[in-house]
Amino acid sequence: MPVTVPKPAVLQTSEASISYHDVGSGPVLLVLHGGGPGASGWGNFGRNVDDFKDRYRVIVPDQPGFGESRFTDDRGGDYHSASARVMAEFLDKLGVKKAHVLGNSMGGGVALRMAMHYPEKVDKLVLMGPYFRGFGHQLLAPRHEGDAHLRGYFPNPSIEKMRALIEAFAFDPSTIEGVEDVIKSRYEATLRPEIQAGYMRMARPATDPDPRSAFDKVASVTNKTLLIWGRDDRFCHLEYAFFFMSALRNSTLVVLRDTGHWVQVERRAEFARYVCAFL
């Protein structure tokens, strides 16, 4: 049975129109989705909200170019920095002085950029398989099997391509509740020209004016950080977890066996326990 998505609110920043859900009360937990085709905030984290809303005010936005959020005055630059800039202003407009930030994959990279560029806005970080351009060296693991599914999805999306992508996210696709509905809804989203354009904007390389190495950039983040990693992640292999733990000196790493890139979906109950205990 398809999951009913509650009606989102919309907030305009100087650069983007942001669609978001705001649920619960308590310390603010900003939740940032990944960058796969058809991704959205509620699509990635809607079920997890129930696990956090009694303890936290959970804010779940669609990042610019995804879901129902759009750049309205794109100032350029790499996507992670642009979205971090938008998210910092988004929190300001909501009256949020400081938030814990939780991010998966691309969302983890945006969370790191927020901590780097807007440290006054970020309390603790929770990162699951974060992607930060240029970071880490692949030494032992095979080439990322998941990358081919991402690179080959556009310009000709299909239900078969989406099925292969979603199944690659998980160690065991049967752990994805309502997996057929997830495949169908995300595939249909990718048929929209504005979604395709948003994905291409995210994937477009851009020069970072910061001359430091990627390692030094990540190492500049001093926030207390929880890294949660799927042992069988096909997109961000386990070896990268140790690079991040090395760079983030104030971090703790949890590795879950028989788990892929979607820790929050595949190991929902354990994920919630680890996050709540850490925060």
Q: Which residues are identified as catalytic?
A: 261
Total Cβ atoms within 10 A of residue 160: 10
Total Cβ atoms within 10 A of residue 185: 17
Residue 18: exposed, middle, or buried by beta-carbon count in 10 A (0-12, 13-18, 19+)?
buried
Q: Which residue has tokens 């990635």?
A: 44
CA atoms within 13 A on the CB side of 201: 21
